[in-house]
Amino acid sequence: MLDLVARNRIHLTMNSDSPRKMPFLSSGMDLAARFVPSTWNELELLLPDYLARRNSISAARNVHSVRIQHAFLIEAGDSEIWFLIVRADLHEGIPRTYSIPLTLVPEAMLDDLLLPTDECVLAHLPDPTPGALCYAMAVQKCCESLVQTIQLGRTYRSGEFEIAAISLSEETDAEDDFESAISVRLDERHTSIEFGESYILKMYHRIEIRPRDSADAGSVPILGYLEMRSPNGERAVLAELHKFLAE
């Protein structure tokens, strides 16, 4: 067991069913307390390796250090999703800003993730909130909840910043039961979650501060989107909800 000492102590142990060392966060802290600025350093130590394990984000393998800029709690349906907005300093090149949505998954449910565990799990948590802190878009319930959040139009604040869910269509139905199978595809720009032949939710990895109208929507109709807003009116698109179009 290897100890990394910061303000808190992180233990790295070897999972019996995985060749990769997976971190365990310090004990004695509930989940919400881990997203308070005074405790961000514990997560920041782990984020460079976590981003490097996200194979679809090639530039992330060049990350030197990560600093959390904002942490938003989005309570969507039965899901709690923590959106981290982070600045990644690279060994070479200009810094980049990433959106990292995380959620707590019970250990017994890790086999149900939509993506490989090595790419999804940031860290394991001990009591009083045991489980694994995972990429939220690998959890089906979180994907469904974010679609409904966009359909309903909600706003979540963190200090002077906010995340706003905007619905652009009356066609969406917040009462969807999502019986269709979900499939997940990753590329350099985003994670695409397909809900059968109903919707496609695109969650951007790297985000840029820009006007909403400059987003590249292509020819696919946008039903709604999720964006971060700053006090001075700047915006960054975090996700878009599209109508499924058969090829």
Residues 125 and 9 in one domain: yes
Indicate whether 8 and 130 sit together in one domain. yes
The whole-chain average pLDDT of the chain stands at 82
Q: How confident is the model at residue 187 (pLDDT cuts 50, 70, 90)?
A: confident
pLDDT of residue 58: 64
User: How many Cβ atoms are within 10 Å of 113's Cβ, its own excluded?
Assistant: 20
Question: Is the per-residue pLDDT at 19 higher than 70?
Answer: no
CA distance 181 to 194: 8
Is the pLDDT at 178 greater than 80, yes or no? no
On whether both 101 and 211 belong to a single domain, the answer is: no
Element (H, E) at 33: none
Residue range 29-55: mean pLDDT, rounded: 90
Query: Is the separation of the CB atoms in 136 and 145 below 8 Å?
Result: no
- At which residue do the structure tokens 């006007």 appear? 211
- Which domain, by its residues, includes 103? 2-136
* Pair (33, 8) in one structural domain: yes
Percentage of the chain with pLDDT > 70?
79
Residue 26: band (very low, low, confident or very high) from pLDDT cuts 50, 70, 90? confident
84 and 190 within one domain: no
Does residue 33 share a domain with residue 91? yes
- Do both 122 and 151 map to the same domain? no
Mean pLDDT, range 16-33, rounded to an integer: 75
**Are 122 and 224 in a shared domain?**
no
Question: Predicted confidence band at 6 (pLDDT cuts at 50, 70, 90)?
Answer: very low
Find out whether 90 and 110 touch, Cβ atoms under 8 Å.
no
Q: Which domain-ending residue is among 74, 106, 136? A: 136
Where among 114, 136, 158 does a domain terminate? Answer: 136
103 with 12, same domain: the answer is yes
pLDDT tens digits along 200-246? 999 999 998 775 554 454 455 789 999 999 988 889 999 999 987 76
101 and 181 share one domain: no
Same domain for 114 and 24: yes
Report the domain count for the chain: 2
Average pLDDT on 89-102 reads 90
Q: 136, 162, 181 — which closes off a domain?
A: 136
Could you tell me if 151 and 222 lie in one domain? yes
Contact status, residue 23 vs residue 124, Cβ threshold 8 Å: yes
DSSP state of 246: -
- Between residues 56 and 217, the one the model is more confident about: 56
Q: Read off the pLDDT of residues 127-171 as tens digits, 9 standing for 90 and up.
A: 878 899 999 999 999 999 999 999 999 899 998 999 999 998 765
